Amino acid sequence: MPTLKFTEQAVAEARAPAAGRLDLWDEELPGFGLRVSGAGRKSWQVMYRVAGRKRRLTLGRYPALSLEIARDAAEDALREAAKGRDPAAERAAMTGGALTFEAFAKAYLERHAKPNKLSWAEDARMIERDLLPAWRRRPAETVTRRDVIELLERVVRRGHPTAANRRLALVRKMYAWGLEVDLVPATPVVAVRAPAREAPRERVLGEAELVALWSAWERIGWPFGPLGKLMLLTAQRRRAVAGLRLADIGLASRIWTLPPEAVGGRGAHAVPLSSFAIEILTSLPRTDSRYVFPARGHPGRPVSGFSKAARRMAELSGVGDCRLGDLRRTAAAGMAGQGVPPHVLGAILNRGVGGGPGFAGPAESDIEATRLALEAWAERVREIVRAGVSDRAAAVP
C-alpha cells in the first residue's frame, strides 16, 4: 500500500492513476488514508480491524473536509476501534461523504466561526453543552427537524427560553455553512420557530449603580474587576476587552488597536485610551501570557467564566438585572449625554452607517475627536466614583 506524509500540499497534488483508483495512507497515522477516484474525487478514510475483520469508514470529502479535521476524526475512530467498538456501525456512516456531527461541528468552528465570528467561543460552548450530547456520533446529515425541536424543548424546560433561541440560531448557521461547502445535503431547521420572543435590551446603569459596581470590582480584583472597569471606560465589547493583548496597546500613542479578527474581520479598530484607562492597565499584574487577562491555568487563551463573574458582581454590588453588555450601552449613553455627536460615537463603537439606533453617521471619525470623547467620559466616571465613595464614607457613623 502506497504511503505518503500527508500535508496540505501533498494531498492537493495527489492524482489518481490512469485507470482505477488510488488509496494513499498516512505515514504518521497508520490506518488513516485518502482515496482518489478515477474522476479525481478525493475522500478521507479510516481502515481498522474489529473482531479480526477489516473495516473501512469514510469520513468525508476533501477539500470540504480539511486535513486537520479529517486527521482528528480518524484518531477518534481508531481509538474507538482499539476499545473493541466498530465506528462504522455505530455511526452509520455512509460512503460518499457522510461525517459525524462532532466532526461537522469541529469543521464549522475551525473553518468558519473562529476566522469570522467574534462570538466563536460562545458557539463552542453551546456545541459542547447541548449539541454534542444530543448528536455527537450521528452522521450530521441525519439530524432531523424533530431532533432540533426536541433539543430546543429540553433547553426551555431548563428555564432558559432565550438560550434555546441561541441554539436554534447556531444550528441554522452551522447547516447553512455546511450546505455552502458541501458537507451536508440539507438543513434540518426549515420552518423551525424560535421558542421565545425577545425584545431589544435597553438597560442603562444609573450613577448610584456605577458606584456600587465599581466598589464591587475593587473587591473582586483581578481579572474581572479591572476588566469591568475597562469595559465601562472604553465602551468596547466584553470579548474584545477579554482578548486584549499587550502587543495591541501603544502606551506612547495611548491607542489600543483591535485586530480585524477581534472586530468581525472588518479591519483594525483604533480605540484611544484615556488617562484613567492607562492608570488601570499599568497597575495590572504582569504574566508570561500575551493576553492582559489570560485564562487561569491556560495562558495561551483569554479569560473566560463571565457568567460566574457576573453573578459575583451582582452579589457584591446589589445591582439587579445587570449584564456586562450593559456597560458598553451605559458608556455610549453617557457620552451622548455629554454632547458627543453620533458619528463620533459610531467610530468609538465601531459601527458604520445604520449600525444601531442613535448611532448613524460615518464609520470613522477623526482620532482626536474620539480621544476627547473617551477622555471626557473617563473623567466623568472618575467624578461619579469619587463622589459616591465620599458619600458612602460620610454616611458611616
Distances (CA, A) of 366 to 11, 257, 329: 49, 15, 22
Distance in angstroms (rounded) separating the CA atoms of residues 102 and 128: 10
Provide the pLDDT for residue 358: 36
Task: Give the mean pLDDT per block of 10 residues along the chain (397 residues).
Answer: 88 83 91 88 90 84 84 88 79 51 91 82 92 91 92 92 93 92 85 84 92 95 95 94 91 87 70 95 90 88 86 92 91 96 91 42 64 96 85 52
Residues 6+ apart with CB under 8 A from 36: 14, 15, 16, 21, 22, 23, 24, 42
Distance in angstroms (rounded) separating the CA atoms of residues 237 and 229: 12
Distance in angstroms (rounded) separating the CA atoms of residues 275 and 327: 19
Q: Are 121 and 239 in contact (CB under 8 A)?
A: yes
Distance in angstroms (rounded) separating the CA atoms of residues 248 and 178: 34
Residues 6+ apart with CB under 8 A from 288: 299
Q: Provide the grid cell at 49.
A: 480491524
Q: Is 197 helix (H, G, I), strand (E, B) or coil?
A: coil
What is the tens place of the pLDDT at every residue in 195-222? 988 777 789 999 999 999 999 999 999 9
With CA atoms as reference, report the closest residue to 69 among 32, 95, 37: 32
Phi-psi region of 300 (alpha: psi -120 to 50; beta: other; left: phi over 0): alpha
Helix (H) or strand (E) holding 42: strand 42-50
With CA atoms as reference, report the closest residue to 382 among 258, 284, 240, 278: 278
In this prediction the pTM is: 0.59
What is the tens place of the pLDDT at every residue in 123-144? 999 999 999 999 998 888 889 9
Provide the pLDDT for residue 76: 86
Provide the pLDDT for residue 93: 39
Q: Are 132 and 102 in contact (CB under 8 A)?
A: yes
With CA atoms as reference, report the closest residue to 47 among 81, 6, 14, 2: 81
Omega within 30 of 0 (cis) for the link into 185:
no
Residues 6+ apart with CB under 8 A from 284: 222, 226, 292
> What's the sign of the alpha-carbon dihedral 151, 155, 157, 162?
negative
Distance in angstroms (rounded) separating the CA atoms of residues 53 and 129: 36
Distance in angstroms (rounded) separating the CA atoms of residues 149 and 136: 17
* Paired residues of 302 in beta bridges: 294
Distance in angstroms (rounded) separating the CA atoms of residues 218 and 216: 5
The DSSP symbol for 141 reads G
- CB-based burial, 81-98: b 16+ in 10 Å, e otherwise: beeeebbbeebebeeebb
